Amino acid sequence: MNTTCSPRTSAPATSGVTESLRKPLYNVNGNAEAFEIRVELPGVPKNNVKLDLEENILTVRGERSTTVPEGMKALHRELSPLSYLLRLRLNAPVSEDQMTAKLEDGVLTLRLPLKEVAKPRQIPVL
């Protein structure tokens, strides 16, 4: 059984002071039990991360905003508002009710256990 993920779409990298859309860096690992996906989302708070799974397509969205403290004005900006978008096609069905997501130090870690029907099985020969 092929338990892999493949990119569904990618967003172009852009720069500038206006909000841009980027595909985040990510790693996918897996075995016969689950996928583990790590996605870099620097500067994105937990409440700005949205995850969707529909028809075996995982969508990860994240938004980073920048603010200028009250009473100050922006003199130089390299950190601009930024939106991340990643879509991955999962090549095996996962158990939606057992998925977990954790955002720590700008890295989102997803654990997606495979459904029982998707796990490889040994068939005894009688």
Q: What is the phi-psi region of residue 33: left when phi exceeds 0, alpha when psi lies from -120 to 50, beta otherwise?
A: alpha
Domain spans, the chain? 5-64+76-115
Q: Are 106 and 85 in contact (CB under 8 A)?
A: no
Q: What is the pLDDT of residue 80?
A: 82
Q: What is the pLDDT of residue 79?
A: 82
Q: What is the pLDDT of residue 118?
A: 60
Helix or strand (DSSP H, E) at 6: strand 5-9
Q: What is the pLDDT of residue 3?
A: 47
Cα–Cα dist 37/23, whole Å? 14
Q: What is the pLDDT of residue 12?
A: 43
Q: What is the pLDDT of residue 101?
A: 97
Q: What is the pLDDT of residue 16?
A: 41
* Strands annotated E in 33-121: 34-40, 49-54, 57-64, 82-90, 100-104, 107-113
Task: Pick out the chain residues at pLDDT < 70.
Answer: 1-19, 118-119
What's the pTM? 0.76
Helix (H, G, I), strand (E, B) or coil at 58: strand
At the top level of CATH, which class does the domain 5-64+76-115 belong to?
Answer: mainly beta
